[in-house]
Amino acid sequence: MKRRTFFKTTALAGGTLAVAPLNSCVQNPARQAAPEDFTSFELNEISISQLQEKMKAGTMTSEEITRKYLDRIEQIDQNGPKLRSVIEVNPEALEIAKQLDAERKSGKVRGPLHGIPVLIKDNIDTGDKMQTTAGSLALVGALAPDDAAIIAKLREAGAVLLGKTNLSEWANFRSTRSSSGWSGRGGQVRNPYSTDRSPCGSSSGTGVAVSANLCAIGIGTETDGSIVCPSGINGIVGIKPTLGLWNGDGIIPISHSQDTAGPMARSVADAAILLGALAEKPQDFTSELKSDGLKNARIGIAADFFGFSKEVDQLMAKAVQTLKDGGATVIENLKFENREEWGKLEWQVLISEFKADLNAYLQTRAGLKVQLLADLIAFNQANADTELKWFGQEIFEDAEKTKGLDDPEYKKALEKVKEMSQKGIEKMMDEHQLDALIAPTNGPSWTIDLVNGDHFGGGSSEPAAIAGFPAITVPAGFVHGLPVGISFFGRAWSEPTLIKLAYAYEQATKHRNSPGFLKSIE
C-alpha cells in the first residue's frame, strides 16, 4: 500500500467511527467474518519429493500446483500481511506448467524438478516477459535479452519459473544505512514471523517467499551474507556454494571474486536437489542425506562469531550438544588469525569490482536508461523522491571513484584477502583435522527502520564469502519467536560433507516451524 493511500484510507475510516456504535447494535456476531488464517494452506511445508509423488500418482498436476502458489502469493504477498516478497509473477507460469504436464503424460519426466514451481531473485536475467531490475527503477522497461546460465539449466530441468522476488536494491550495495529488503521498485519486504521485523538481505524476497510457502523452492544470490542471513532470519535452509559451482553469467554483479547464486529451501533435502541440478557439472548431492551423518565427524567452533547475543549463544550450546550426541567430536574456541584485516581488504575489492563488473553487465542490456554506474548515480539523483527517499547511494559514489581492475591497490587487496581467508580456513581445518566449522548464522531479526537503516546484531558469513568457499545454514531454534540459524562451512568443494552434516543436524532437531504472520512479537 502506498503511503498516500494509507493516509486516505485512515481518514475515511476515521469518518465512520461516529456511526459505528449504532451499527454494532444490529449486527449479528455470527455473521461477522472470522480473521483469515494465513497459516492454513494445502501445500504448506510440502517437499519436492512429496510434490513429485502427487504428480506421479495423478492426484495433482503441475498446473494445479502452480495455480495454488499463484493464489497464495495474491493472498499473502499482495494482500493480507503484504509481505512484498514477490516483485513480479511470471505471466507464462501456467502455460509452462501445462506443457510440463503434457510431457509427463507422454512419459517424459526430466528429473526431480519437473513441474516444480521456483521463485528467483530479481537480479537474475530471464529472457522472457519478466523484468530484471535488481529492484531499481532505473532498469525497468528494457527486458534482459537471454536467460542467465542457471535459468537455462532451471528450464532444462523442467522447473516452472513462477516469478521473481523482491530484494535489497542492488543486492544491498548502494548505501551503508539501507533497510534490508527495501527496493525502489518493490517496496519493503517483511518478515513472515513478525511483519514489523526485517527479513535481512539481500535475498530478502526469496527467503520470505520460501518460508511463507509461496513457492516450492527459491534461488538467491550472495556476495557476503545475502543467502545465509535471510535464510537464517526467515527460518529456512540456504546454501552458498563454492564460487564456480554455479555459473554466474547473467546475474547483476557486485564482485566476480565473491558473487554466487544458491538454493534457498525449507529443508536440506530440497536445497540439495536444486544445488545438484544447477551445478556446472550436475551432481547428485542427495546421496549425502544420511541421518547418521554426524557420526565420527570433527567439527570446529569458530569462536570469532559468538558472543554478540546471550540468547543466541544458548541456542548454539544446545546445537553443539546435538552434534556431540550425534557422534561428532567438537573442537572449541578456534579463532582466525588476522581476521580484523579481512573486512577492510574485502571492501576495497568489492567497490573496485562493482564498478568494473556492473559497467560490463549494463553493456549487455540494450535499451536501458543507464549504461554506466555514473549514469545510475545521476538517475537516482534525478529521481530522488522515489529512489533516494529513505537512504542515499554513498557506496555507489565511493565505487565510482575507484581506478579499475589494473589498480595496484585493488590487486594487492584481492591477493592478500584471498590468501588470508582461504589459507586461514584451510590451516584451521588441517591443524584440527576438521570436516567443517560452525557458527551462528544470525541474531534475531530487528525491527524495520527505514529512517536509520538496519540494526544488524551479528553473523558469520564473512570467512566463506571472502574465501569463495561453501556454507550452509539450517534452522537452530528461536529467540522470542524469531528464527536463528546455524552455519556449517569449510573448504572449497566440500558441499557433500556440509550437506551430510547439515542434514543430520536438521533431522535430529527439526527446528523448522512455519511462520505465523504476527504483526508484532509483543
Q: Are 399 and 373 in contact (CB under 8 A)?
A: yes
Give the Å distances, CA to CA, from 157 to 143, 266, 306. 23, 20, 40
**Coil, strand or helix at 121:** strand
Reading the block at residue 132, the C-alpha cell is 530484471
Separation of alpha carbons 98 and 91, rounded Å? 13
Separation of alpha carbons 467 and 464, rounded Å? 5
Write down the catalytic residue from 85, 121, 240, 355. Answer: 121
Task: Report phi then psi at 100, rounded to 5.
Answer: -70, -35
HSE-CB at 430 with a 13 A cutoff on CA atoms is: 6
In this structure, are strands 237-240 and 160-165 parallel, antiparallel, or unpaired?
unpaired
Q: Would residue 391 be called left, alpha or beta, if left means φ above 0 and alpha means ψ between -120 and 50 degrees?
A: beta
* DSSP letters for 289-304: --TTTTTT-EEEEEGG
Q: How many helices (H) and strands (E) does the chain have?
A: 18, 13
Residue in 188, 228, 208, 200 with CA at minimum distance from that of residue 457: 200
Number of other CB atoms surrounding residue 310 within 10 Å: 8
Residue in 43, 55, 57 with CA at minimum distance from that of residue 98: 55
Write down the catalytic residue from 202, 255, 352, 461. Answer: 202
Number of other CB atoms surrounding residue 425 within 10 Å: 23
Place of cell 559451482: 245
Question: Active site includes 121?
Answer: yes
Number of other CB atoms surrounding residue 30 within 10 Å: 5
Q: Are 189 and 84 in contact (CB under 8 A)?
A: yes
Place of cell 511483519: 195
What's 194's DSSP letter? B
Separation of alpha carbons 520 and 477, rounded Å? 19
Question: Active site includes 211?
Answer: no
The helix or strand, by DSSP H or E, that contains position 163, with its residue range, turns out to be strand 160-165
Separation of alpha carbons 48 and 159, rounded Å? 11
Write down the catalytic residue from 62, 85, 178, 226. Answer: 226
Helices 62-72 and 48-57, interaxial angle, to 10°?
A: 130
Separation of alpha carbons 266 and 289, rounded Å? 15
Q: Are 274 and 113 in contact (CB under 8 A)?
A: yes
Question: Active site includes 226?
Answer: yes
In this structure, are strands 260-265 and 237-240 parallel, antiparallel, or unpaired?
antiparallel
Annotated catalytic sites, by residue? Answer: 121, 202, 226
